[in-house]
Amino acid sequence: VWLGAWKGDLVAVKIFSSRDEGAWSHEVETFQIHMLHHPNILQFYASDRKEKPAIAHRDIKSKNVLVKADLSCAIADLGLAVRYEAGHISLPNSNKCGTV
């Protein structure tokens, strides 16, 4: 994850090293689902949805918690996250979960 600037704001820029679309499309999709706006979860600028889904991060660790200038924290890297929607849990095709 790199520090960048977009429209005058400092932003986190994630560069996906895999060429496999499945390796990164789940994270992008998670950020784009409705209801994913919270002060302690990084905002995805390409999304305009404002509702809050039920999600499980599944990879909480110190390098996925970013500290802001005001010392509040934001959760990053939702690549292994799952969401609960309409009685169904959306699981990625991979069995990966957490840090090994």
pLDDT bin (cut points 50, 70, 90) of residue 77 is confident
**Mean per-residue pLDDT, 63-82:** 84
Q: Which of 3-7, 42-46, 71-75, 82-86 has the lowest mean pLDDT?
A: 42-46
Please determine, for residue 59, whether its predicted confidence score (pLDDT) is greater than 60.
Answer: yes
- DSSP letter for 12, please: E
d(CA 40, CA 25) in angstroms, rounded, equals: 22
Which of the 8 DSSP states describes residue 33? Answer: S
* Catalytic residue ranges: 59
pTM score: 0.41
